[in-house]
Structure 1
Amino acid sequence: MREELRKRCDLFIENRDIIKSTFGWESPYVYPMCAGILTSRGSLADADRLLSCRDILKANTGPFSNFRGVSKLAVITMLSLTENPEMVMEQMLTLYGRLKEYFWGSEYLTVAAATVAEMADPSRYEEIIRKTGRIYSRMKNAHPFLTSGEDSAFAVLLAMSELDDSCIEREMEQCYHILKPCFFSGNSVQSLSHILALGEDFAVPKCRRALELFDSLKSRGLRYGTGCELATLGVLALLDVEKDILVQDITEADAFLKSRKGFGAFGVGARQRLMYAGMMASCDYVPDLHSMQTAALNGVVALVIAQQAAICASAAAASAAAASSSSNS
């Protein structure tokens, strides 16, 4: 295992443990989600700062706010990475209110608002919000029974790109129709197609690379999740790195995580673990976010935002499914 990858996996585990000890009684799916957000930025969790950001969130939202749901710790984590969390919290709430003009309020929409507040320049907010509404309408028209609130984060992500609306729609649909015969869940394929639409290449090679990664991991006994985790496979497929190198990194990161408490048979599960292994492996192949101008968001930075949106959506869905299963048993 490469030393840099091992250090990153160690940081991921340390971040998870700090967050878990700071915020008890949360869903076990939430802790690695937040640890992943911090680790992808190369940051160590600061318990005091996280608690301070929690207080900021509580002071600005009511007890029934969607900001207090499954996405709460993700929002707190994002706030902790900013220089002025009070201002960013205010921006998130403003953006959330504006986005609700196009969407029903949901925990997915809080992730969408947080992503814009964290990564986009305020001068682009109105442009992004309007474009998000247009893109979501295109999604809904193409797939009325598949498109729902969870797609709001992906619509925002696509709206922050420099691609025009018609190009986005064409890429999403081409990728969807190529990939749909390969996976059971149309909803998950749609999410994957949203991520692949960000890539500069044509639809066929992008989809082929995603399938090759899936099959290469499967040949090693690693079955990438085909449910809510599938969108993150698109992030890996768009990385500029040789497939065999990436697969080896993912394999080694997965083995490392499997040996740690919370990622084995009684942890978050093999599919979620493999998703996080992919996240750890991908960090070497994208530049440091803080070294880039957020006002000039490009495709490479979009990969990290895509990963964050996909991870949050996946963790929220897994947490909700686990809670439903528990209540029915």
Structure 2
Amino acid sequence: MNQAMKSRCELFVQNRNEIRSRFGWESSYMYPLSASIFTGRNMPVNIERMEECKKLLMQETGPFSNFRGISRLAIISLLAADADPERRLKNSLRAYGELKNEFYSSPYLPVTAIITADMVQPEEYSEVARRTRRIYDLMKKEHPLLTSGEDSSMAVLLALSNKDERLAVEEMEESYKVLREHFFSGNAVQSLSHVLTLGEGTPGAKCRKSIELFEKLKSAGCRYGTGYELPTLGILALLDAGTEQIASEAAEVNDYLKTQKGFGAFGIGAKQRVMYAGMLVADEHMTGETKALNTAAISGTISIIAAQEAALLAAIAASTAAASASSGASD
């Protein structure tokens, strides 16, 4: 592992440990997700700033707001990593209001609102919300049983990418059919097809790279999850690097994380660990001009946001499943 990657891994583990030590009683799946928000920006976590943003969130939202739900810690982290958290929250709440005109409230809608507020000006929120709904409806038409609230977040990324709505959904469906022959979870495959549609290239080429990468990771001792974790595989497939290199780097990072407390057999689990190993590799490749928000780099920027978004959806889904299992056991 080169020094830059090692430093990134050390920062990720340090951020995760600090957040976990000061924000108890959160889902274990949310700590590494929140850590990755800071690490992706090459920032050490600032706990005091997180506490301030927690107070800000409590002041600006009601007790039953979805902003205070399962994704709360990630939202606090996103605010704390921003230069102007008050403005970001204000704009996110405004975007949320527009989205609620088009969608039922859900734990995923605040995330969709934050993405909208990040990418466009307030006067555009209403049109983005309507375009997101149109794309969502096209998704729902193709897969009425699979499409649900979590897909609104990927729909907004497609709405922001300015891709033709029908062509984008047609590409998703083409990718879905190819991927479904290799992976069994229909919902996860659908989400992976959404991520791949955000990138450049033909559906066939992107699907082939995803499948090849999955197999190379498995050969390297990194069995990638085929459930909630699968969409983040698409981020790795969109990197401008070969599958051999990506798999090798992810295996090195996974081996490092495995030795760290909270990432071993009794931590978040092997599948989630491999997912975060992949995200750290993606962060290392998506640097410099790729992260600049301009016309030339718009696809790269959306891919970066999609990486965090896919991980956040995985963390929310896993946390919800864990909470439901715990509730069922206590009944």
Question: Is the TM value for this pair above 0.5?
Answer: yes
Give the alignment's Cα RMSD to 1 decimal: 1.6
Shift of 1:210: 0.2
> Which is bigger in relative contact order (C-alpha 8 A, separation at least 6)?
1
| Paired AA for residue 219 in structure 1 | S
Cα distance in structure 1, aligned partners of 2:289 and 2:263: 27
Q: Distance in 1 between matches of 2:136 and 2:99?
A: 11
The structural deviation recorded for 1:295 is: 8.0
* Partner Cα separation in structure 1 for residue 289 and residue 174 of structure 2: 30
d(CA) in 1 for partners of 2:225, 2:69: 24
Task: Give the corresponding residue for 1:201.
Answer: 201
**Any conservation in 2 of the 1:121–1:294 contact (CA below 8 Å)?**
no
Distance of aligned partners of 1:22 and 1:119 in 2 relative to their CA distance in 1, 3 Å threshold: farther
Change (3 A) 1:141 1:100: same
- Distance in 2 between residues matched to 1:141 and 1:221, nearest whole Å: 38
**Conserved 8 A contact 1:78-1:118:** no
Contact 1:82 1:118 in 2 (8 A): no
1:263 correspondence with 2:263? yes
Which residue of structure 2 lines up, in the alignment, with residue 61 of structure 1?
61
Please say if 1:115 is aligned against 2:146. no
Tell which deviates more after alignment, 118-127 or 159-168. Answer: 118-127
Alpha-carbon distance, 1:123 to partner: 4.5
What percent of counterpart residues are identical?
A: 48
What amino acid is aligned across from residue 128 of structure 1 in structure 2? V
Q: Say which SS state the counterpart of residue 227 (structure 2) adopts.
A: coil
Displacement of 1:223 after TM fit?
1.1
> Which is further off, 191-200 or 159-168?
159-168
| Structure 1 runs, 4 residues or longer, greater than 6 Å off | 294-297
Change (3 A) 1:94 1:295: farther
Q: Is the 8 Å Cα contact of residues 161 and 297 (structure 1) preserved in structure 2?
A: no
Displacement after TM superposition at 1:294 (Å)? 6.2
Deviation at 1:146, TM superposition (A): 0.3
Where does structure 1 lack aligned partners over 5 or more consecutive residues?
none
C-alpha contact (below 8 Å) 2:206/2:237 kept by paired residues: yes
The corresponding residue for 1:281 is 281
Q: Aligned partners of 2:7 and 2:82: how far apart in 1?
A: 24
Instruction: Please tell me whether the aligned partners of residues 120 and 297 of structure 1 are also in contact (alpha carbons under 8 angstroms).
Output: no
CA distance in 2, matches of 1:304, 1:325: 32
Q: Aligned-pair distance for 1:121?
A: 3.4
TM-score, length-normalised on structure 2? Answer: 0.96
1:11 maps to what in 2?
Answer: 11
Mean Cα deviation higher: 37-46 or 206-215:
37-46
8 Å contact 1:41–1:289 — kept in the other structure? no
| Distance in 2 of aligned mates of 1:116 and 1:295 | 17
SS in 1 for 2:264: coil
Letter in 1 for 2:34: C
**Could you tell me the TM-score, scaled by structure 1's length?**
0.96
- What CA distance in whole angstroms lies between the structure 2 residues aligned with 1:129 and 1:167? 19
